[in-house]
Amino acid sequence: MTVSYPQTRLRRTRSTAWSRALHRETVIGPADLIWPLFVTEGTGIEEPIASLPGVSRWSTDLVARRARDAAQLGIPCVALFPNTQPDRRSTEGKEALNPDNLMCRAIRAIRDAVGGDIGILTDVALDPYTSHGQDGLIDDAGYVVNDETVKVLVGQALNQAAAGADIIAPSDMMDGRIAAIRAALEQAGHDRMQVMSYSAKYASAFYGPFREAVGSRGLLQGDKKTYQMDPANAEEALREVELDIAEGADSVIVKPGMPYLDIVRRVKERFDVPVFAYQVSGEYAMIEAAVAAGAAERDALVLETLTAFKRAGCSGVLTYHAALAARLLGA
Ligand code: PBG
């Protein structure tokens, strides 16, 4: 087919708002969003996070209110991240297994307040609970040991499931953890529990503000490159996804988001599986910094970036801008 001007003028369909609406290939709505929320101890507490302007840690009662806001805005799911008090952190991250830890109390508070009208996604990884800030157990040389860590992650997942989580999201990048978690969930009777695996999670410089938010920034020595992926690799991401699906994941996450849309697209093209992207803390901070510098307009940046995720093939996006975006899109 030869396409030539002036028979073809691609501006024709763009020339009015109604026509642009009619020809729009990608539509984003509140139902495409997952809202990450940080939890802290206490009652009636809001702690703003300096490196994430506009994002706070909330005590469990206020997290429950944010979850109710989410449901009212049409956001189907929230993702919880606890800021564990320093005296509850240990080298083995045992607090992850405490049925009354901050995460479990937040799950129950949301369930009490919102019932089944909201999905609750919980992160499985030990970094909010370890005194060294790594996502797993370490040996004498500081190496994060795989199989011993997986055993603890299984306990953490079962603990979250018992507290009422809907989606278990392992973000630790240990080998074999999806199979182990899935087997344990089935055995415990959690046959409706979803597992959304952070399959392609990169050792990224974009996680800095998150580590401040969960209180692990000052604790972490070294980096996470022996388990999180090399940002230079794409084929390896496909292998990670393939394994996680085979091991029982219902859906997969690519993380970070915007710099990794090529990974989203390749995963989507290769596998028939729901793909989510995490627009991470550093990406949020970049947008806010651009807005603060007068370089761009927030609403437009947020909607454009979220649209790009969907265009690339995402079923949905985890974003700290979820409430704002839902308000913009809901009308
Ligand atoms: C921890 C975890 C991290 C994020 C989500 N879960 C940070 C890390 O791996 O160090 C980052 C999210 C963000 O930056 O918004 N397993």
Nearest-atom number in ligand 1 for the CA of 171 is 16
Nearest-atom number in ligand 1 for the CA of 281 is 15
- Name, in order, each residue with C-beta under 8 angstroms of 250's C-beta and a sequence gap of 6 or more: 194, 195, 196, 274
Is residue 225 annotated as a catalytic residue, yes or no? no
Point out the catalytic residue in the list 201, 224, 268, 310: 201
Over the Cα atoms of the chain, what is R_g? Answer: 20
Q: Which residue among 55, 132, 153, 171 is best mutated to probe the pocket of ligand 1, counting the most ligand atoms within 8 A of its Cβ? A: 171
Model-level pTM? 0.97
Ordered by start, the domain boundaries in the chain are 29-330
What does each of the 331 residues of the chain score in pLDDT, given as a tens digit?
788 999 999 999 999 999 999 999 999 999 999 999 999 999 999 999 999 999 999 999 999 999 999 999 999 999 999 999 999 999 999 999 999 999 999 999 999 999 999 999 999 999 999 999 999 999 999 999 999 999 999 999 999 999 999 999 999 999 999 999 999 999 999 999 999 999 999 999 999 999 999 988 889 988 999 999 999 999 999 999 999 999 999 999 999 999 999 999 999 999 999 999 999 999 999 999 999 999 999 999 999 999 999 999 999 999 999 999 999 998 5
Angle, helices 177-187/146-163, rounded to nearest 10 degrees:
40
Angle, helices 60-73/102-114, rounded to nearest 10 degrees:
50
Question: Two tokens at 292?
Answer: 């603060």
CATH superfamily name and code, 29-330: Aldolase class I (3.20.20.70)
